[in-house]
Structure 1
Amino acid sequence: MGSMVHCQLWMGSLEPYMTETFILTAFRKMGEAPMSVKVMRNKFTGEPAGYAFVHFANDEEAIDAMHKLNSKPIPNTNPMVRFRLNNASNTGRSLIDREFSVWVGDLSHDVDDYNLYRVFSSKYNTIKTAKVILDNSGFSKGYGFVRFGSEEEMKDSLISMNGYIGLGTKALKICNAVPKPKGALTPGSSTGTNSATSNGGTDYSQYYDPTTYWQNYANWQTQGYFDPSEHQVANDGSSVAMETKREDDLDLIEHSAPVDVDKMNRERLDADCNLWDALESSKWLPCDMLEVA
């Protein structure tokens, strides 16, 4: 992890009154011990540029502080401002760098960035960031993203971490983080950004949120399937339909089974021929072909 952050974090969304001393004090009140802070300034006007670099003794302290504090309220800010932190190396990351990220769903509301990071980093060596997405009020939306430095580890997590129990109160749901087409706007936003960016660090608004898919998937697994041949007789003697779960409807389809295309075509043609033969032998004619006397 030594080449990841180079012992410093980028801190954004700073107000003009946030000096180096103010930021150092804020970190220390949150239990962190940065060595120094450098607030960047506009080289022409000398005014604060709205961001700073926070230097730590080592990379582990820096990455831990990022995940512990990201999106947490900064002490002594009024109105409240939240920590917005990122790996210093990520701020200059090339747009052509490949991203290996997964979407993590069913996060209970007690799970924050640090919890998410710790669980994945205990199993994988290339974790770069872990982010729980928050709403505008600062509450978890129930899902987040984990970014890997290795495609192999990312693919392994899709299997190994799906259904994982031990983070929060629910089993995790894992799937690929699917990027949106360039220029796609986030619902409710005219700029394509949302709380994913304002709550800190990496911009995850570029990814789709598959929460709806998983909700529908759960419904498919639990909903009843109506069988019109099964009824219950009510007290008044009327027939009341019952919902039953058809286990056979849930059987997996064997997609690798060999398919005889010629045989299937012959069977379809034979069925069509049999239909027309039956119509012809019955002397049935469509109404628009009959002459009215």
Structure 2
Amino acid sequence: SKSFSKHFGKYGAITDSVIMKDKHTKMPRGFGFVTFSDPSVIDKVLEDEHNIDGRTVEVKRTVPREEMSSKDGPKTRKIFVGGLPSTLTEDDLRDHFSSYGNVVEHQIMVDHSTGRSRGFGFVTFESEDSVERVISEGRMRDLGGKQRFLWYFL
């Protein structure tokens, strides 16, 4: 939306921005991505509180896979999983990712008014090594019979 780009545009030039939408209803799914031409503005973006169209917005840094497979490895135990089928349960999510290591927390985000899955969630592992194993297999997963994207957070 215009207000989304306008809000983040005040921090610096944006090379790409997208609000993820449900492919059937075309309604926003409650999250999006912004790419800044100057990555140094991200620290300022992360420090601030964000309110867009009257809604508080949580901002996190996503890290492209290429940058995460450095010899230092990821410094995170938590991953973001997007594009989940509405039929996928939290148990399914945990079971899938437990093959990479001990899952200490897992959550599928739901719409508060309808109780339906918003199509994304988070998985936190006991060990950073588990995230490294997930990354080593690339970004796509077969969850609930459909290919899904993963993004990683530091």
TM range (shorter): 0.3 to 0.5
Q: Which fold has the larger relative contact order, with Cα–Cα distance below 8 Å and residues 6 or more apart in sequence?
A: 2
TM-score (norm 2): 0.46
